[in-house]
Amino acid sequence: MTWLRQVLNLPSDSAVIQEAAAALRAGALVAFPTETVYGLAALALDESAAARIFVAKERPLHDPLIVHIHERGQMDALVREKPRLADRLAAEFWPGPLTLVLPKSERVPNIVTAGGDTVALRLPDHPVALALLRAVAAPLAAPSANRFGRISPTRAEHVLAELAGRIEGLLDGGPTGYGLESTVLDLSKEPARILRPGAITLEQLRRVEASILPDEARPRVGEAKPLRSPGQLPAHYAPRAQVRLASGPQAAIELLRECRRQQAAGQRVGWLALTEDRAQAAAADVSVFLASVDDAAACGRRLYHALRELDERGVAVILARELPDAGLGRAINDRLRRAAKARIGWHGDDD
C-alpha cells in the first residue's frame, strides 16, 4: 500500500478524495468506509481493475461483487430490466444499506458478476463513500475489505491488518455506523427474496412490499445444497477461534457450563457477552461486551470489532448467544451462526 489517509473532516479534505479517485481511475485498489463496513474498491466497468480485487482478497472468482453507485439514475445503464419494486425500494432506502440484485446489462463485465446474469447494486449512505464515487464519476465494485471468509472490517486498522501491501490506498473514516453488511435482496425473480440479511431489516422491507421473502434456511456444513448467493457459505465471517453459540432462555447457563468444560480441557475461553450475562461472563478468561439484548443496533455495531479483539487476545474458544430472531437480530444471528461452524454437533445442550 502506498498511502493511508484520514478523511474524518470532509469536505475540507477533498484533495484526499481527488487523489483516491485518480488512483482508482488508473486501475488501483482503494479501501474506503461505508455506513456498513469498509469496502475495497476498483472500477466496476474495467475488467482488469475489478479482477485485482479477487487477487487481493484471495476471493474465489465464483463470488460476485457489489457495484456501488452515487445516483439512482446510474442504475439504468447497469441493468437490463428493472421491476417497479426496484424504484420503490431505491426511493425508500437509498442512500442506505440495501443491495438490489437485478438482471445485468452488457456493460457490466462478467468478472464482476462471477459469470452470472445478475448484478448487485448499492448506493451507500456515507459522506466519504459518496464523495469518492462522485469524484471517480463511475461505478465502483467493492466487496468488504477483508481477506475472503474472514470478518468484515469496521475500522481502518482492520483493513490494514489484512490487506496492507496488497492495495494502493485506504481512506480512514473512523468506525463504521452499522457494523454489519448491507441486506442483499434478489429482485431478479418474483417474489423478491433476501439473500443475505443485513442492516436493513425484513420488517422494514415488508413495509414497502409485504411479499418479500426472508433468506432461505441455510444448509449446514457438509450438506451439498446449491447456494443461491455465494455469501451464504456457512463458514463465512469467521474469527480464528472456534465460536460456540447458544440460544433460548437457558443460554447464559449453558454457556457457563461450556466455559468450565473448555477451561477444564486447558482452553483459553473468550466470552462475547451481552450486558445481561455479565455475572456468568466473569468466569471466562477474557470477556468483551456487546450491549444489552434490547439494543441490537449497538450489538451489531460492535460485533466484528469484538470478535477481532477476542481473536487478538488469543482465546481458543468464543462463547456467544443469539439475539431474538427479529429486526437486526436476524443479521447478527446469521453472522454468529456462520462464525460458529464448530456449532455443528453442539447446541449448548449435549450433556
By beta-carbon proximity to ligand TXA, the closer residue of 152 and 262 is: 152
Among 17, 20, 28, 63, binds ligand TXA (CB under 6 A): 63
Counting Cα atoms < 13 Å in the Cβ hemisphere of 60 gives 7
By beta-carbon proximity to ligand TXA, the closer residue of 36 and 287 is: 36
How far does Cα 74 stand from its chain's mean position?
23
Each residue 12-41 as x (binds ligand TXA by CB under 6 A) or -, in order, gives: ----------------------x-xx-x--
Three-state DSSP at 84 gives: helix
Provide the minimum distance between the beta carbon of 39 and ligand TXA in the complex, in angstroms, as a whole number.
Answer: 3
Among 70, 126, 196, 301, binds ligand TXA (CB under 6 A): 196
Provide the minimum distance between the beta carbon of 345 and ligand TXA in the complex, in angstroms, as a whole number.
Answer: 26
Cα-based distances in Å from 336 to 237, 315, 320, 321: 8, 17, 8, 8
| Residue type (1 letter), 64 | P
By beta-carbon proximity to ligand TXA, the closer residue of 316 and 327 is: 327
Q: Percentages helix, strand, coil for the chain, rounded to the nearest 5?
A: 35, 20, 50
Provide the minimum distance between the beta carbon of 260 and ligand TXA in the complex, in angstroms, as a whole number.
Answer: 36
Contact status: 65 vs ligand TXA (CB under 6 A): yes
Stretch that binds ligand TXA, among 93-101, 131-139, 253-261, 308-316 (CB under 6 A): 93-101
- Alpha helix positions (H), the chain: 14-25, 47-57, 75-78, 84-93, 127-136, 156-163, 202-208, 251-264, 278-281, 296-312, 328-339
Among 70, 122, 158, 321, binds ligand TXA (CB under 6 A): 122
Burial status of residue 117 (CB atoms within 10 A of its CB: 0-12, 13-18, 19 or more)? exposed
Contact status: 113 vs ligand TXA (CB under 6 A): yes
Three-state DSSP at 288 gives: strand
By beta-carbon proximity to ligand TXA, the closer residue of 329 and 348 is: 329
